[in-house]
Amino acid sequence: MAGGKPRLLHSTSFLAGTANLQLCSAEDSVSDREKRAVVFGLANKRSIAWAIARKLQEAGWRLALTYQNERLEQEAKDLITDLPGASGFMCDLGSDEQIARLFEELKNGFGTLDGIVHSVAFAPPDAMKGEFLNTSREAFRIAHDVSVYSLIAVARAAAPLMTEGGGIVTLSYYGAEKVTPHYNVMGVAKAALEASVRYMAEDLGKKKIRVNAISAGPIKTLAFAGIADSRYILKWNELNSPLRRTVTQNEVGNSALFLLSDLGSAVTGECLHVDAGYHVVGMKAEDAPDIAVVPKHEPSA
């Protein structure tokens, strides 16, 4: 994880105006004023964080997007320039100092915040192989620090700027609820993340800040490609979910927009499944064909 001071990537005026997208009736819009959000976890154009950012921007939100380190800087910069009025910052969520510096810059540039998107997770690759029982102490610590504690740290830093309330959304996965092949310690971390959402919903509700999670179905992202047999998992979900398909980044983005907007004003402490209904299935669908496991020597896509 890289250190260093968060740097501004795209300094288009913070006062740049954006059109307000109407998602419902004329008398009940998503937002009656410009709202501001920070999106954590931008990696590339296939990132769920990027899809959420685009949906927020289309709805008239003013955005700051963060990326972890210099390795991701150039691609992040190229993406952010496609969002009029958006700003980019380098911030490693494993560093309390970098988080503090980031929110000081956001305070100076944005003043207040209305939304936080937390799309950050990591576990050492070796911990995603073999048996969960063999998880090392260090791998367990890393997975929970990056995937869970980072949300707590960000929410604590953001709360003073969310003076008019708002929403916080994080990303989870079905492996938090049921044993999922090759997910191992990440499944345990996601379970802790979902529990953290519930506890933070209680703590922050008094400040009119809502905290929710989205349990997204498997999507072809950089992170998902690192899971063994990812193509098999995608195909299995497609054949056995009630909608007989997988989901897209844009569908997750739409759901995040709902949770962050005024349309989700009474929703907090929730884990919203955006998975084509797969989480309700108990057995293989009658009409689903048998499919072979992807050979171990064949790389997953």
Concerning whether 232 is annotated as a catalytic residue, the answer is no
- Tell which residue, 101, 90, 91, has the closest CA to residue 157: 101
- Tell which residue, 216, 212, 217, 215, has the closest CA to residue 264: 212
**172 beta partners:** 215
**DSSP classification of residue 15:** T
CB-based contacts of 137: which residues, under 8 Å, 6+ apart? none
**37 beta partners:** 63, 115
Concerning whether 173 is annotated as a catalytic residue, the answer is yes
Amino acid at 295: P
Among 173, 174, 232, 278, which one carries the catalytic annotation? Answer: 173
CB-based contacts of 104: which residues, under 8 Å, 6+ apart? none
DSSP string, 92-135: -TT-HHHHHHHHHHHHHHHS---EEEE------GGGGSS-GGG-
**DSSP classification of residue 64:** E
Q: Are 121 and 223 in contact (CB under 8 A)?
A: yes
Among 67, 174, 183, 278, which one carries the catalytic annotation? Answer: 183
Catalytic residues: 173, 183
